[in-house]
Structure 1
Amino acid sequence: MTTQDPFLSVRHFVTVAQSGSFTAAALALGITGSALSKSIVRLETRLGVKLLHRTTRRISLTLEGEAYLASCLKAIKLLEETEHSFASSKQNPSGRVRIDLPSAFGRRHVLPILLKLANKHPQLDLSVTFNERKIDLIQTNIDLVVRIGTLEDQADLIARRLGEQKLIICGSPSYLTRCGVPSTPEELSQHDCIIDWRSGHRHSWLLKNSMGKTEAYNVPVRYEMGDGEAVLAAALAGLGLIQAPTWLVNEQLESGALLPVLNDQSGGEMPINLIWAKNQHMQPKLRVVIDALLSAAQNRISSFRAI
């Protein structure tokens, strides 16, 4: 059974009251006079008051009808003003959006999109921070985060995929000349390994086994660095092997400053997600940022091309 829209009769009443005629109101609403009359009766029954005086020649509002019409018109005006503000904000989003990004990836691939967006919308204010930690969006007052890796299932959050981070193991020519090129994952135990270390992260790399399945593989750690840029610098300095995302090392691989090893085993992948708190109403300032990042990811344009 279809549930009757409780506000449908309200709209019918306002139209009748403003037109002063059931016939004119029915014509404007595109319904029959009989259906309109029944709708008004249902409204009066629900409210428990009589709204209209009806005669064969004219209709007029009761005292209750006048009071109810004034309230209806005030509510309609408020809704129209709210809708207008939404439309205006969509064209010119304003206010502050707080965004937390992974350090190296955020600076290289997300920040350029945000800066372009800020230039396009001068009333949009951005607060951008960089870290890799898991954070509580509500307690920290953060609107959006970008995170790399598998997400925990949280009902109060919404996540949208931006892309996949592909991993590769590589080292500098000077290091590989000095220490040799590993031909199996087991030979990594004889090498100096450099990891992107953060609190709570395991000392492991993602490697493919003989069945092609990706597994975490513990490696001997010689150097621990706080972010991807530091890991890259250590590898370029010839300190050891790294497993790094292709977006971080593509330029160095193309120039020969870094050389890939264990190609058949090192191709692990990790999801990159845009995350925000579930809310009944999406503010225009937040929507414009989300749309820009999702559009860049979908079209593989701008900096996201390197993911």
Structure 2
Amino acid sequence: MSHLEPKGPIRVFLAVCDAGSFAKAADGLALSASAVAKTVARLEARLKVRLFDRTTRRLSLTPEGRTYQQACARAMGDIARVEASLAQAVATPSGTLRVSLPPLFGTEVIAPALHALCDRHPALNVDISLDTERIDLMARGVDLAVRIGELPDVAGLTARRLGLQEVVLCGAASYLARHGEPATQADLAAHALITTTHRGQPVPWQLLGDDGRVVPWSPASRISTDSTLLTLAAVRAGRGLGLLPRWLVQGDLAAGRLRVLMTGPGPGPGLERIAGHLPVHALWLSAPVMLPRLRVAIDAVVAAVAAVLAVPAVDTIVSKAP
């Protein structure tokens, strides 16, 4: 039995101190007076000091017993306060939640939802960082991460698929009025193309044929960027055609400033469509109990992503055992 359990030695000792006798303490603990006396005797034997002076008429603390009582009372008070604090933390979202997000999608879509979450829960704080790389959640102290693209097989993580980010080929209406709309890969050779790089390497476009096969293609371009926002600015300015997330250009499409190209079958066989659907996942460390701050954050992220992306018909949650 632990010393701190309801009928453990320390609690029995403090009960005797409060009651002033073994018999009265026994009544409050639902033990026999003999059991209480034996528990105190074992505690004294372990400490190698006498805690009580015993006579036939009275029980009084020794100086060592009084010192031990004060220390035990302080410790029990500290434990009670910590237990109350933990109980409150389990009941309501509180404390600091550390989140890692992809830069653009995180800034535009998810961070506002987390800010609103703090408004609803005054005891909750969020610490947000931006990153696209694979992350060791435990080593970095991250509670929740969102990543775009296929996930590596990492043990100890739970992953929830949030939706699909569709990447589309876009051109400004002004540019298309001058150069026309491409329908096939061959048509793209006559257009100014805006490409992207990652870590200095070109990111290939994915072309989809009528037979369903996807073929990567790295087109030549005069403008190349490592930023989706730079690509968007160049496309809006009529500098050429570029790949952009549909959610990011939804307003431009609705207003007619941009148009989506090569989304359907072309006039003949070949690589005639742009294929681009990247899965978006929320990741967190697998644990038997989920703290309220993490639970409400996941709910907020799910709702924010559902507002801008195609959501899977069935939520997929995959947990990898450590």
TM-score range relative to shorter protein: 0.5 to 0.7
Deviations 1:113-145 (A, max 9, x none): 243345456787777565546678899998876
Alignment of 1:38-187 (within 5 A): 39-53=39-53, 58-83=58-83, 101-119=101-119, 130=130, 132=132, 146-150=146-150, 161=160, 163-172=162-171, 174-175=175-176, 178=180, 180-182=182-184
Unaligned runs of 5+ in 1: none
Structure of higher CA gyration radius: 2
Unaligned runs of 5+ in 2: 265-272, 310-322
Residue pair 1:99, 1:143 contacting (<8 A) in 2 also: yes
Residue in structure 1 matched with residue 269 of structure 2 by the alignment = none
Change (3 A) 1:254 1:62: same
1:34 CA drift (Å): 5.4
Q: Which amino acid letter does the alignment assign opposite residue 301 of structure 2?
A: A
Select the structure that is richer in helix: 1
**Partner Cα separation in structure 2 for residue 209 and residue 41 of structure 1:** 85
Change (3 A) 1:88 1:7: closer
**Partner Cα separation in structure 1 for residue 208 and residue 64 of structure 2:** 76
Please report the TM-score for the alignment, with normalisation by the length of structure 2.
0.63
Residue in structure 1 matched with residue 267 of structure 2 by the alignment = none
Residue in structure 1 matched with residue 259 of structure 2 by the alignment = 258
Residue in structure 2 matched with residue 11 of structure 1 by the alignment = 11
Change (3 A) 1:32 1:237: farther
1:296 CA drift (Å): 0.7
Please report the TM-score for the alignment, with normalisation by the length of structure 1.
0.65
Change (3 A) 1:159 1:194: farther
1:269 aligns with 2:278: yes
Residue in structure 2 matched with residue 305 of structure 1 by the alignment = 307
**Partner Cα separation in structure 2 for residue 54 and residue 187 of structure 1:** 102
**Partner Cα separation in structure 2 for residue 160 and residue 51 of structure 1:** 56
Residue pair 1:103, 1:228 contacting (<8 A) in 2 also: no
1:293 aligns with 2:297: yes
Q: Which amino acid letter does the alignment assign opposite residue 69 of structure 2?
A: L
**Partner Cα separation in structure 2 for residue 15 and residue 198 of structure 1:** 68
Residue pair 1:50, 1:62 contacting (<8 A) in 2 also: yes
Change (3 A) 1:98 1:166: closer
**Partner Cα separation in structure 2 for residue 52 and residue 211 of structure 1:** 90
Q: Which amino acid letter does the alignment assign opposite residue 296 of structure 1?
A: A
Residue pair 2:100, 2:130 contacting (<8 A) in 1 also: yes
Residue pair 1:208, 1:268 contacting (<8 A) in 2 also: no
1:109 CA drift (Å): 1.2
CA-atom RMSD in angstroms = 4.8
**Partner Cα separation in structure 2 for residue 38 and residue 85 of structure 1:** 34
Residue in structure 2 matched with residue 219 of structure 1 by the alignment = 218
Deviations 1:152-178 (A, max 9, x none): 6778x9676472342233222654963
Stretch deviating more after TM superposition (201-210 or 41-50): 201-210
**Partner Cα separation in structure 2 for residue 36 and residue 221 of structure 1:** 87
**Partner Cα separation in structure 1 for residue 53 and residue 215 of structure 2:** 79
